[in-house]
Amino acid sequence: MRASIVSVPAVAACALLALGSALPVQAQGIYTCEVNGRRVTSDRPIPECVHREQRLLNSDGSVKRIVPPTLTADERAAQEARDAKEALERANRREAIRRDRNLLMRFPDQAAHDRARESALEDLRKSLQISESRLERLQKERKPLMDETEFYVGKPLPLNLKRQIEGNEAAAEAQRALVTNQQAELVRINALYDAELERLRQLWAGALPGSLGPLPMTPSAVPASAPRPRSPA
Protein backbone atom coordinates (compact mmCIF):
# COMPACT_ATOMS: atom_id res chain seq x y z
CA MET A 1 0.00 0.00 0.00
CA ARG A 2 1.39 3.43 -0.93
CA ALA A 3 1.79 5.87 1.96
CA SER A 4 0.35 9.34 1.60
CA ILE A 5 3.02 12.01 1.41
CA VAL A 6 2.25 15.53 2.62
CA SER A 7 4.69 18.23 1.58
CA VAL A 8 6.31 20.46 4.17
CA PRO A 9 4.93 23.70 2.62
CA ALA A 10 1.37 22.34 2.90
CA VAL A 11 1.84 21.56 6.59
CA ALA A 12 3.20 25.03 7.21
CA ALA A 13 0.23 26.66 5.46
CA CYS A 14 -2.24 24.71 7.60
CA ALA A 15 -0.42 25.75 10.74
CA LEU A 16 -0.57 29.41 9.77
CA LEU A 17 -4.31 29.18 9.08
CA ALA A 18 -4.93 27.57 12.45
CA LEU A 19 -2.88 30.24 14.18
CA GLY A 20 -4.72 33.01 12.36
CA SER A 21 -8.12 31.66 13.37
CA ALA A 22 -7.06 31.61 17.00
CA LEU A 23 -6.11 35.32 16.98
CA PRO A 24 -8.77 37.85 18.04
CA VAL A 25 -10.44 39.86 15.27
CA GLN A 26 -9.19 43.44 15.21
CA ALA A 27 -11.84 45.83 16.53
CA GLN A 28 -13.41 48.34 14.13
CA GLY A 29 -12.72 51.09 16.62
CA ILE A 30 -13.64 52.33 20.07
CA TYR A 31 -17.28 53.08 20.93
CA THR A 32 -17.85 55.84 23.42
CA CYS A 33 -20.82 57.58 25.04
CA GLU A 34 -21.87 59.10 28.34
CA VAL A 35 -23.88 57.21 30.96
CA ASN A 36 -25.02 59.12 34.05
CA GLY A 37 -22.39 61.78 33.47
CA ARG A 38 -19.46 59.40 33.03
CA ARG A 39 -17.78 58.43 29.81
CA VAL A 40 -18.04 54.77 28.83
CA THR A 41 -15.88 53.14 26.17
CA SER A 42 -15.90 49.70 24.59
CA ASP A 43 -14.65 47.85 21.54
CA ARG A 44 -18.26 47.06 20.61
CA PRO A 45 -21.60 48.94 20.75
CA ILE A 46 -22.44 49.87 24.34
CA PRO A 47 -25.78 48.38 25.51
CA GLU A 48 -26.39 51.22 28.00
CA CYS A 49 -26.28 53.70 25.11
CA VAL A 50 -28.49 51.82 22.68
CA HIS A 51 -31.11 54.60 22.84
CA ARG A 52 -28.65 57.46 22.48
CA GLU A 53 -25.94 58.54 20.06
CA GLN A 54 -22.57 56.79 20.23
CA ARG A 55 -19.28 57.79 18.67
CA LEU A 56 -17.03 55.29 16.96
CA LEU A 57 -13.42 56.48 17.27
CA ASN A 58 -10.35 55.60 15.27
CA SER A 59 -7.21 54.41 17.07
CA ASP A 60 -5.92 57.99 17.09
CA GLY A 61 -9.04 59.27 18.84
CA SER A 62 -10.63 60.90 15.78
CA VAL A 63 -14.29 60.30 15.08
CA LYS A 64 -14.79 57.56 12.52
CA ARG A 65 -18.56 57.84 12.44
CA ILE A 66 -21.61 58.63 14.57
CA VAL A 67 -23.76 55.63 15.50
CA PRO A 68 -27.41 56.76 15.72
CA PRO A 69 -29.61 55.54 18.58
CA THR A 70 -31.77 52.45 18.15
CA LEU A 71 -35.37 53.61 17.80
CA THR A 72 -38.37 52.14 19.56
CA ALA A 73 -41.37 50.98 17.51
CA ASP A 74 -43.16 54.29 18.16
CA GLU A 75 -40.05 56.30 17.32
CA ARG A 76 -39.56 54.33 14.09
CA ALA A 77 -43.19 54.96 13.13
CA ALA A 78 -42.77 58.69 13.82
CA GLN A 79 -39.53 58.79 11.82
CA GLU A 80 -41.15 56.96 8.90
CA ALA A 81 -44.05 59.44 8.99
CA ARG A 82 -41.60 62.36 8.90
CA ASP A 83 -39.67 60.76 6.04
CA ALA A 84 -42.90 60.18 4.09
CA LYS A 85 -43.99 63.78 4.64
CA GLU A 86 -40.62 65.12 3.48
CA ALA A 87 -40.69 62.85 0.42
CA LEU A 88 -44.19 64.11 -0.44
CA GLU A 89 -43.07 67.73 -0.06
CA ARG A 90 -40.10 67.10 -2.36
CA ALA A 91 -42.36 65.44 -4.92
CA ASN A 92 -44.85 68.32 -4.75
CA ARG A 93 -42.05 70.84 -5.23
CA ARG A 94 -40.70 68.96 -8.26
CA GLU A 95 -44.23 68.86 -9.70
CA ALA A 96 -44.70 72.59 -9.08
CA ILE A 97 -41.41 73.33 -10.86
CA ARG A 98 -42.44 71.14 -13.80
CA ARG A 99 -45.85 72.83 -14.10
CA ASP A 100 -44.41 76.33 -13.88
CA ARG A 101 -41.89 75.55 -16.59
CA ASN A 102 -44.63 74.10 -18.76
CA LEU A 103 -46.70 77.27 -18.23
CA LEU A 104 -43.81 79.43 -19.39
CA MET A 105 -43.32 77.26 -22.46
CA ARG A 106 -47.03 77.32 -23.38
CA PHE A 107 -47.57 81.01 -22.62
CA PRO A 108 -44.50 83.15 -23.34
CA ASP A 109 -46.64 86.30 -23.05
CA GLN A 110 -50.14 87.46 -22.09
CA ALA A 111 -51.36 87.51 -25.69
CA ALA A 112 -50.84 83.74 -25.91
CA HIS A 113 -52.71 83.27 -22.65
CA ASP A 114 -55.60 85.48 -23.78
CA ARG A 115 -55.97 83.43 -26.94
CA ALA A 116 -56.13 80.22 -24.90
CA ARG A 117 -58.81 81.73 -22.65
CA GLU A 118 -60.98 82.76 -25.60
CA SER A 119 -60.59 79.35 -27.19
CA ALA A 120 -61.63 77.61 -23.98
CA LEU A 121 -64.71 79.81 -23.56
CA GLU A 122 -65.86 79.92 -27.19
CA ASP A 123 -67.80 76.63 -27.29
CA LEU A 124 -69.32 77.26 -23.87
CA ARG A 125 -70.58 80.69 -24.91
CA LYS A 126 -72.15 79.19 -28.04
CA SER A 127 -73.87 76.51 -25.94
CA LEU A 128 -75.16 79.19 -23.58
CA GLN A 129 -76.60 81.19 -26.48
CA ILE A 130 -78.36 78.08 -27.80
CA SER A 131 -79.81 77.34 -24.36
CA GLU A 132 -81.07 80.90 -23.92
CA SER A 133 -82.66 80.79 -27.41
CA ARG A 134 -84.44 77.54 -26.57
CA LEU A 135 -85.70 79.03 -23.33
CA GLU A 136 -87.12 82.02 -25.23
CA ARG A 137 -88.79 79.65 -27.69
CA LEU A 138 -90.39 77.69 -24.85
CA GLN A 139 -91.69 80.90 -23.30
CA LYS A 140 -93.25 81.87 -26.62
CA GLU A 141 -94.83 78.43 -26.97
CA ARG A 142 -96.28 78.76 -23.48
CA LYS A 143 -98.18 81.98 -24.20
CA PRO A 144 -100.87 80.52 -26.54
CA LEU A 145 -101.30 77.59 -24.18
CA MET A 146 -101.98 79.90 -21.26
CA ASP A 147 -104.29 82.02 -23.43
CA GLU A 148 -106.30 78.88 -24.17
CA THR A 149 -106.77 78.17 -20.48
CA GLU A 150 -108.90 81.33 -20.21
CA PHE A 151 -111.69 79.44 -21.96
CA TYR A 152 -111.78 76.93 -19.11
CA VAL A 153 -111.98 79.19 -16.08
CA GLY A 154 -113.69 77.22 -13.32
CA LYS A 155 -113.59 74.06 -15.44
CA PRO A 156 -111.10 71.19 -15.68
CA LEU A 157 -108.56 71.67 -18.44
CA PRO A 158 -108.65 69.23 -21.34
CA LEU A 159 -106.15 66.41 -20.80
CA ASN A 160 -104.18 67.27 -23.96
CA LEU A 161 -103.88 70.96 -23.03
CA LYS A 162 -102.85 70.06 -19.49
CA ARG A 163 -100.13 67.74 -20.76
CA GLN A 164 -98.81 70.41 -23.16
CA ILE A 165 -98.57 72.97 -20.34
CA GLU A 166 -96.84 70.51 -18.00
CA GLY A 167 -94.39 69.46 -20.73
CA ASN A 168 -93.61 73.09 -21.51
CA GLU A 169 -93.01 73.85 -17.82
CA ALA A 170 -90.71 70.83 -17.37
CA ALA A 171 -88.70 71.68 -20.49
CA ALA A 172 -88.36 75.33 -19.45
CA GLU A 173 -87.25 74.36 -15.93
CA ALA A 174 -84.60 72.01 -17.32
CA GLN A 175 -83.43 74.71 -19.73
CA ARG A 176 -83.19 77.30 -16.95
CA ALA A 177 -81.09 74.88 -14.86
CA LEU A 178 -78.83 74.31 -17.87
CA VAL A 179 -78.38 78.05 -18.39
CA THR A 180 -77.51 78.50 -14.70
CA ASN A 181 -74.90 75.72 -14.91
CA GLN A 182 -73.37 77.14 -18.08
CA GLN A 183 -73.13 80.62 -16.57
CA ALA A 184 -71.46 79.18 -13.47
CA GLU A 185 -69.03 77.28 -15.70
CA LEU A 186 -68.11 80.51 -17.48
CA VAL A 187 -67.36 82.15 -14.14
CA ARG A 188 -65.35 79.16 -12.95
CA ILE A 189 -63.17 78.89 -16.05
CA ASN A 190 -62.53 82.64 -16.07
CA ALA A 191 -61.49 82.43 -12.41
CA LEU A 192 -59.04 79.63 -13.22
CA TYR A 193 -57.53 81.63 -16.07
CA ASP A 194 -57.31 84.69 -13.81
CA ALA A 195 -55.38 82.70 -11.18
CA GLU A 196 -53.13 81.22 -13.83
CA LEU A 197 -52.48 84.64 -15.34
CA GLU A 198 -51.50 86.05 -11.95
CA ARG A 199 -48.99 83.21 -11.53
CA LEU A 200 -47.64 83.76 -15.04
CA ARG A 201 -47.13 87.47 -14.37
CA GLN A 202 -44.92 86.60 -11.41
CA LEU A 203 -42.99 84.04 -13.47
CA TRP A 204 -42.56 86.51 -16.35
CA ALA A 205 -41.23 89.00 -13.80
CA GLY A 206 -38.51 86.57 -12.74
CA ALA A 207 -39.99 84.39 -9.98
CA LEU A 208 -38.34 80.97 -9.89
CA PRO A 209 -40.46 78.01 -11.04
CA GLY A 210 -41.79 76.15 -8.02
CA SER A 211 -41.33 79.09 -5.65
CA LEU A 212 -44.96 80.29 -5.75
CA GLY A 213 -46.58 77.52 -3.77
CA PRO A 214 -48.98 74.84 -5.00
CA LEU A 215 -50.60 75.39 -8.36
CA PRO A 216 -54.42 75.16 -8.48
CA MET A 217 -56.17 73.17 -11.19
CA THR A 218 -55.28 74.73 -14.50
CA PRO A 219 -57.92 75.73 -17.08
CA SER A 220 -56.49 73.13 -19.44
CA ALA A 221 -57.69 70.47 -17.00
CA VAL A 222 -61.31 71.55 -17.60
CA PRO A 223 -61.58 72.18 -21.35
CA ALA A 224 -64.65 73.88 -22.76
CA SER A 225 -65.35 70.74 -24.77
CA ALA A 226 -65.98 68.72 -21.59
CA PRO A 227 -69.32 66.83 -21.57
CA ARG A 228 -72.30 68.88 -20.39
CA PRO A 229 -75.93 68.01 -19.69
CA ARG A 230 -77.94 67.54 -22.86
CA SER A 231 -80.39 70.28 -23.61
CA PRO A 232 -83.99 69.19 -23.90
CA ALA A 233 -85.40 69.34 -27.42
Query: For the purposes of burial, counting CB atoms within 10 Å of the CB of 91, is it exposed (0-12), middle (13-18) or buried (19 or more)?
Result: exposed
Q: What is the mean pLDDT of residues 59-71?
A: 87
Q: Give the tens place of pLDDT for each residue, 14-33.
A: 443 443 443 333 447 899 99
Write down the mean pLDDT value for the chain: 83
> Among candidates 220, 229, 225, which has minimal Cα distance to 103?
220
Residue 16, amino acid: L
Instruction: Give the pLDDT confidence score for residue 207 in this predicted structure.
Output: 95
How do residues 89-104 score in pLDDT, each as one tens digit? Answer: 999 899 999 999 999 9
Q: For the segment 114-124, what is each residue's pLDDT rounded down to a tens digit?
A: 999 999 999 99
Phi and psi angles of residue 67, each rounded to the nearest 5 degrees, phi first:
-95, 115
Position 51 confidence tier, pLDDT thresholds 50, 70, 90? confident
pLDDT, residue 221, reads 54
Helix and strand counts by DSSP (H, E) for the chain:
4, 4
Inform me whether the pLDDT recorded for 224 exceeds 70: no
